[in-house]
Amino acid sequence: MTNDDGKTWQNVTPPAMTSWTKVVMIEASHFDAKEAYAAFERHQLEDYEPHILRTRDAGKTWVEITSGLPKGIYVQTVKEDPQRRGLLFAGTERAVFVSFDDGDHWRSLQLNLPPASMRDLAIHEDDLIVATHGRGFWVLDDITPLRQIIGEVSNAAAHLFRPADAINMPPGGDNGTPLPRDEPLADNPPSGALIDYYLKTNATGPVTLEILDPSGETIRRYSSEDKFPPVDPDKLNFPPFWARTPEPLPATAGMHRFVWDLRPTPPPRPAGAGGGGGPFGRGAQPVLPGTYTVKLTVGGKSYTQPLQVKMDPRSK
């Protein structure tokens, strides 16, 4: 470690990390000059255990912080969120983990990631980027809900997270036509406002989500009891796999993400109407920029959060 911009260095290697231990990542804290995190791996020494250490006194002492990480799988990287103190991410030889208490406890953040060596992590604004060995790059869009998780959230019966600002992007110029299935492609970020909420247990009644405009009027409403007519492939004038299948609002226990397309309730389609962009036409114009309100109702109790809708800055 150096305190004079590299003129002199002091050896602060943790005593437990003996010769031939590989230092795979050192992360200096964004909030305290004396705090840092270090990931080590020793599989060449037939030690496959995870090793992440934390110092809060500029390397004088180190504490191992691996509670919750699986045994026998070594660590490749550790990173600290630059906005929320105590929020850490770790990549092991098989998965990604998150800690909300500065590394004292870890829990899985694997979601749909394939089991692979998670070689590095990067936080770009509100997104978490994962670099794997052999399985490409992956992005977890909008980690703002993770930054809001505190003890009160996990103990609450339900919680609506404050959504990040939504950018009203213009539609693509391909008339909404998906690429053929034989074309290699990855998913783009969801288009619209990402709304995250948490339910401690399965809801016994309907769960509703409403969008209120700046005047307080409800312009869109979703429910866990929404019903959608089945798609009849014989009546489509496009390949059935292009048809988007709507899903009702989730009402099961756990974290949920729902996407509002930044449009009010579309007008009803005339009976027998076809074409018009098929499932790709939105059916309603996007809302204007402004401050909207998201309202979640579950178990007879409502929760609200503001939502800022902004125009695409490129449209100016």
Strand partners, 118: 132
| Ramachandran assignment for 145, one of left (phi > 0), alpha (psi -120 to 50 degrees), beta (any other) | alpha
Task: Give the chain as a DSSP string.
Answer: --SSTTSS------TTS-TT-EEEEEEE-SS-TT-EEEEEEEGGGTEEEEEEEEESSTTSS-EE--TTSPTT--EEEEEE-SSSTT-EEEEESS-EEEESSTTSS-EE--TT--S--EEEEEEETTEEEEEESSS-EEEE---HHHHH--HHHHHSSEEEPPPPPEEEPPPPTTTTPPPPTTS---PPPPSSEEEEEEESS--SS--EEEEE-TTS-EEEEEETT---PPP-GGG-SS-GGGS----PPP-SSEEEEEEE-S--PPPPPPTT---TTGGG--SSPPPPSEEEEEEEEETTEEEEEEEEEEE-GGG-
What predicted TM-score, i.e. pTM, was given to this entire model? 0.88
Give residue limits of the domains in the chain.
22-140, 148-315
Residue 162 has which token pair?
Answer: 């404050």
- The CATH architecture that domain 148-315 belongs to is Sandwich (2.60)
Backbone angles phi, psi at 63, to 5 degrees: -125, 135
List the structure tokens of 240.
């059935």
Architecture of the domain defined by 22-140: 4 Propeller (2.110)
278 φ, ψ (degrees, to nearest 5): 55, -135
Per-residue pLDDT of the chain (316 residues; tens, 9 = 90+): 999 999 999 999 999 899 999 999 999 999 999 999 999 999 999 999 999 999 999 999 999 999 999 999 999 999 999 999 999 999 999 999 999 999 999 999 999 999 999 999 999 999 999 999 999 999 999 999 999 998 889 889 999 999 999 999 876 655 556 677 777 777 778 889 999 999 999 999 999 999 999 999 999 999 999 998 888 888 888 777 777 778 899 999 999 999 999 999 988 766 554 444 433 445 688 999 999 999 999 999 999 999 999 998 887 6
Q: Are strands 88-92 and 75-80 parallel, antiparallel or unpaired?
A: antiparallel
CA angle 48, 36, 145 (to 5 degrees): 85
